[in-house]
């Protein structure tokens, strides 16, 4: 198989119009809301997703105009292999984000923990299931842990309130 053809199932509408506005991870700006608008034929696919607190959005980095095999992550000067970092400049420009579901209305999924640019083509949605998706004893590469901890020690992570969803 030399080629895989995919088609967007919808579009992500975000308040971020430029990449420099986007937080390194959406969980660091908990209060920002965005929404997905699915193509009408996929609306029934949202059935029962409102029973989950979070979901995984899989999307295409449509603003990335280059592909690299190595790159420098945020807060680092050293290059790493593209598969060891979260750069949008990947061979297939595929991204994913875990987001917090706020509500679903018709063909729209409203969410927080936004870290994608406005107009991003959506490829798929999967429910986040803690039992399946969370791991214990995770090692996060080691090369960046200290710098990230130092960075976020100066900018504490805002913890989500324990209030129920809208």
* Spatial separation of the C-alpha atoms in residues 110 and 129, rounded to whole Å: 18
Whether pLDDT at 159 is above 50: no
- H/E stretch holding 148 reads helix 145-154
- To the nearest whole number, what is the mean pLDDT of the chain? 83
Mean predicted confidence (pLDDT) in 98-127: 95
Which range marks the domain in which residue 148 is found?
Answer: 10-154
Whether pLDDT at 135 is above 50: yes
For the whole model, what pTM was predicted? 0.81
Tell me if 161 is assigned to some domain: no
Tell me if 76 is assigned to some domain: yes
Q: What's phi and psi for 129, nearest 5 deg?
A: -115, 110
pLDDT of 147 reads 52
Name the band, by pLDDT with cuts 50, 70 and 90, for residue 103.
very high
Tell me if 126 is assigned to some domain: yes
Q: Are 32 and 26 in contact (CB under 8 A)?
A: yes
How many separate domains does the chain show? 1
101: domain CATH number is 2.40.30.70
Phi-psi region of 48 (alpha: psi -120 to 50; beta: other; left: phi over 0): left
Tell me if 123 is assigned to some domain: yes
Name the band, by pLDDT with cuts 50, 70 and 90, for residue 158.
very low
* Spatial separation of the C-alpha atoms in residues 14 and 143, rounded to whole Å: 31
- Pull the structure tokens for residue 95: 């991204």
Per the listing, tokens 């999307």 go with 59
* Spatial separation of the C-alpha atoms in residues 85 and 73, rounded to whole Å: 6
Tell me if 144 is assigned to some domain: yes
pLDDT of 20 reads 74
Chain segment 23-39, per-residue pLDDT in tens: 666 666 778 889 999 99
* Spatial separation of the C-alpha atoms in residues 74 and 51, rounded to whole Å: 34
Chain segment 69-91, per-residue pLDDT in tens: 998 877 778 888 888 887 888 88
């Amino acid at each position: 198989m030399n080629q895989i053809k995919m088609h967007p199932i919808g579009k992500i509408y975000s308040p971020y119009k430029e990449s420099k506005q986007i937080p390194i991870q959406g969980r660091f700006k908990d209060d920002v809301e965005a929404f997905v608008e699915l193509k009408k034929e996929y609306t029934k696919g949202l059935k029962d997703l409102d029973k989950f607190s979070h979901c995984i959005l899989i999307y295409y980095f449509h603003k990335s105009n280059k592909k690299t095999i190595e790159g420098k992550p945020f807060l680092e000067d050293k290059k790493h292999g593209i598969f060891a970092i979260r750069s949008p400049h990947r061979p297939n420009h595929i991204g994913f984000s875990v987001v917090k579901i706020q509500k679903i209305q018709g063909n729209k999924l409203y969410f927080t923990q936004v870290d994608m640019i406005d107009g991003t083509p959506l490829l798929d949605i999967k429910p986040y299931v803690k039992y399946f998706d969370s791991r214990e004893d995770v090692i996060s590469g080691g090369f960046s842990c200290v710098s990230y901890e130092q960075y976020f020690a100066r900018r504490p992570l805002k913890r989500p309130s324990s209030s129920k969803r809208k």
